[in-house]
Protein backbone atom coordinates (compact mmCIF):
# COMPACT_ATOMS: atom_id res chain seq x y z
CA UNK A 1 0.00 0.00 0.00
CA UNK A 2 1.23 3.47 -0.89
CA UNK A 3 0.78 6.64 1.13
CA UNK A 4 -1.41 9.53 0.04
CA UNK A 5 1.54 11.70 -1.02
CA UNK A 6 2.86 8.95 -3.31
CA UNK A 7 -0.58 8.37 -4.85
CA UNK A 8 -1.05 12.07 -5.60
CA UNK A 9 2.38 12.20 -7.22
CA UNK A 10 1.77 9.01 -9.23
CA UNK A 11 -1.71 9.97 -10.43
CA UNK A 12 -0.76 13.48 -11.49
CA UNK A 13 0.35 11.66 -14.66
CA UNK A 14 -3.27 10.69 -15.33
CA UNK A 15 -3.61 13.82 -17.41
CA UNK A 16 -7.19 13.36 -18.60
CA UNK A 17 -8.60 12.92 -15.09
CA UNK A 18 -6.33 15.35 -13.26
CA UNK A 19 -5.75 18.12 -15.80
CA UNK A 20 -8.69 17.97 -18.20
CA UNK A 21 -11.33 16.96 -15.65
CA UNK A 22 -9.76 18.45 -12.50
CA UNK A 23 -10.08 15.38 -10.24
CA UNK A 24 -8.36 15.52 -6.84
CA UNK A 25 -7.46 12.69 -4.49
CA UNK A 26 -8.90 13.46 -1.05
CA UNK A 27 -8.20 10.23 0.84
CA UNK A 28 -6.92 6.75 0.12
CA UNK A 29 -6.14 3.64 2.10
CA UNK A 30 -5.87 -0.04 1.30
CA UNK A 31 -8.42 -0.75 -1.49
CA UNK A 32 -10.33 2.50 -0.84
CA UNK A 33 -10.28 6.01 -2.30
CA UNK A 34 -12.19 9.26 -2.13
CA UNK A 35 -11.76 11.86 -4.86
CA UNK A 36 -13.41 15.18 -5.63
CA UNK A 37 -14.14 17.49 -8.51
CA UNK A 38 -14.83 21.21 -8.36
CA UNK A 39 -17.63 21.80 -10.85
CA UNK A 40 -16.83 24.35 -13.53
CA UNK A 41 -18.62 25.43 -16.69
CA UNK A 42 -16.49 23.02 -18.75
CA UNK A 43 -18.19 20.10 -16.93
CA UNK A 44 -21.70 21.17 -17.99
CA UNK A 45 -23.78 20.23 -20.99
CA UNK A 46 -25.92 22.57 -23.10
CA UNK A 47 -28.72 22.46 -20.49
CA UNK A 48 -26.33 23.57 -17.70
CA UNK A 49 -26.24 20.17 -16.00
CA UNK A 50 -23.03 18.32 -15.17
CA UNK A 51 -22.34 15.91 -18.03
CA UNK A 52 -22.63 12.21 -17.32
CA UNK A 53 -19.17 11.72 -18.80
CA UNK A 54 -17.63 14.01 -16.17
CA UNK A 55 -19.39 12.08 -13.40
CA UNK A 56 -18.29 8.75 -14.87
CA UNK A 57 -14.68 9.89 -15.32
CA UNK A 58 -14.53 10.98 -11.68
CA UNK A 59 -15.84 7.55 -10.64
CA UNK A 60 -13.40 5.69 -12.90
CA UNK A 61 -10.47 7.74 -11.59
CA UNK A 62 -11.52 7.03 -8.00
CA UNK A 63 -11.62 3.32 -8.84
CA UNK A 64 -8.10 3.59 -10.29
CA UNK A 65 -6.77 5.23 -7.12
CA UNK A 66 -8.39 2.59 -4.90
CA UNK A 67 -7.18 -0.38 -6.92
CA UNK A 68 -3.65 0.71 -7.81
CA UNK A 69 -2.12 0.72 -4.35
CA UNK A 70 -0.39 -2.67 -4.66
CA UNK A 71 3.30 -3.14 -5.31
CA UNK A 72 2.97 -6.35 -7.37
CA UNK A 73 0.33 -5.40 -9.94
CA UNK A 74 -1.63 -2.68 -11.67
CA UNK A 75 -5.39 -2.82 -12.10
CA UNK A 76 -7.34 -1.70 -15.13
CA UNK A 77 -11.10 -1.42 -15.39
CA UNK A 78 -12.73 -4.03 -17.61
CA UNK A 79 -16.44 -3.38 -17.17
CA UNK A 80 -18.46 -0.58 -15.65
CA UNK A 81 -22.15 0.05 -15.16
CA UNK A 82 -23.34 3.46 -14.06
CA UNK A 83 -26.76 4.45 -12.76
CA UNK A 84 -27.55 8.16 -12.54
CA UNK A 85 -30.05 9.12 -9.84
CA UNK A 86 -30.13 12.91 -9.96
CA UNK A 87 -29.05 15.75 -12.19
CA UNK A 88 -26.39 18.05 -10.79
CA UNK A 89 -27.42 21.69 -11.09
CA UNK A 90 -26.46 23.94 -8.17
CA UNK A 91 -23.62 22.01 -6.52
CA UNK A 92 -20.10 23.40 -6.42
CA UNK A 93 -18.32 20.04 -6.22
CA UNK A 94 -18.73 16.27 -6.41
CA UNK A 95 -17.17 13.56 -4.27
CA UNK A 96 -16.69 9.96 -5.34
CA UNK A 97 -15.94 7.09 -2.96
CA UNK A 98 -14.67 3.69 -4.15
CA UNK A 99 -15.30 0.70 -1.88
CA UNK A 100 -14.03 -2.81 -2.52
CA UNK A 101 -16.72 -5.47 -2.76
CA UNK A 102 -14.44 -8.41 -3.60
CA UNK A 103 -10.85 -8.85 -4.66
CA UNK A 104 -9.49 -12.03 -6.18
CA UNK A 105 -6.20 -13.12 -7.66
CA UNK A 106 -6.96 -11.68 -11.12
CA UNK A 107 -10.27 -9.79 -10.84
CA UNK A 108 -11.73 -7.24 -8.44
CA UNK A 109 -15.16 -5.70 -7.95
CA UNK A 110 -15.84 -2.20 -6.61
CA UNK A 111 -18.75 0.11 -6.00
CA UNK A 112 -18.18 3.81 -6.54
CA UNK A 113 -20.75 6.25 -5.20
CA UNK A 114 -20.80 9.85 -6.39
CA UNK A 115 -22.30 12.53 -4.13
CA UNK A 116 -22.92 16.24 -4.54
CA UNK A 117 -21.88 18.85 -1.97
CA UNK A 118 -25.07 18.27 0.06
CA UNK A 119 -24.15 14.54 0.30
CA UNK A 120 -26.98 13.53 -2.05
CA UNK A 121 -26.29 10.38 -4.04
CA UNK A 122 -25.91 11.37 -7.70
CA UNK A 123 -24.67 8.14 -9.27
CA UNK A 124 -23.61 4.61 -8.45
CA UNK A 125 -21.00 2.79 -10.53
CA UNK A 126 -20.21 -0.92 -10.33
CA UNK A 127 -16.76 -1.54 -11.80
CA UNK A 128 -14.76 -4.71 -12.27
CA UNK A 129 -11.06 -4.67 -12.89
CA UNK A 130 -8.29 -7.01 -13.97
CA UNK A 131 -4.95 -7.18 -12.19
CA UNK A 132 -1.87 -7.01 -14.42
CA UNK A 133 1.58 -7.96 -13.10
CA UNK A 134 4.12 -5.13 -12.98
How confident is the model at residue 2, as a pLDDT?
77
Q: What is the mean pLDDT of residues 79-98?
A: 96
Is residue 1 within 8 Å of 70, Cβ to Cβ? yes
How confident is the model at residue 1, as a pLDDT?
64
- The radius of gyration of the chain's CA atoms, rounded to the nearest angstrom, is 14
Is residue 74 within 8 Å of 132, Cβ to Cβ? yes
Could you report the per-residue pLDDT of 34-55, keeping only the tens digit for each? 999 999 999 999 999 999 999 9
- Catalogue all structural domains in the chain, each as residue range(s) with its CATH number: 4-133 (3.10.129.10)
The pTM is what?
Answer: 0.95
Neighbour-count burial for 44-54, b at 16+ CB within 10 Å, e otherwise? eeeeeebeeeb
Could you report the per-residue pLDDT of 24-37, keeping only the tens digit for each? 999 999 899 999 99
Report the candidate in 26, 29, 32 with the shortest Cα–Cα distance to residue 93. Answer: 26
Q: What is the mean pLDDT of residues 101-125?
A: 97
- Give the DSSP letter of residue 13: T
Amino acid sequence: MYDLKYLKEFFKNDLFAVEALGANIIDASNDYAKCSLEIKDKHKNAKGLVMGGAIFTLADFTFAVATNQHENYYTVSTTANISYFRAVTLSKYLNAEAIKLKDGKMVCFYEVNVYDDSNTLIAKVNISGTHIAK
